[in-house]
């Protein structure tokens, strides 16, 4: 399970955190399960 480094305002995530989530999806894991695991909505998981 991935965890954010800190709970800062605005939903900012470190680049390394985002890369780990993207790699999970690229390996075939669904977007929704990854988003739930990291504690964000599915749409927020893939916004820039």
Number of compact structural domains in the chain? 1
**3 inside domain:** no
Residue 24's domain spans which residues? 12-45
Q: Which of 26, 9, 28 is nearest to 18 (CA)?
A: 26
Name residues whose C-beta falls within 8 Å of residue 25's C-beta, 6 or more positions apart in sequence. Answer: 31, 34
**30 inside domain:** yes
pTM for this entry: 0.64
**7 inside domain:** no
Question: pLDDT tens, 1-48?
Answer: 555 555 545 567 888 988 999 999 999 999 999 999 988 888 887 665
**40 inside domain:** yes
**21 inside domain:** yes
Residue 8: the pLDDT is: 47
**2 inside domain:** no
**16 inside domain:** yes
Give the per-residue SS3 of the chain. Answer: CCCCCCCCHHHCCCHHHHHHHHHHHHCCCCHHHHHHHHCCCHHHHCCC
Residue 33: the pLDDT is: 93
């Amino acid at each position: 399970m991935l965890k954010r480094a800190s709970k800062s305002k605005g939903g900012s995530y470190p680049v390394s955190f985002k890369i780990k989530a993207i790699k999970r999806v690229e390996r075939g894991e669904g977007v929704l399960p990854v988003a739930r695991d990291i504690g964000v909505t599915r749409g927020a998981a893939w916004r820039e």
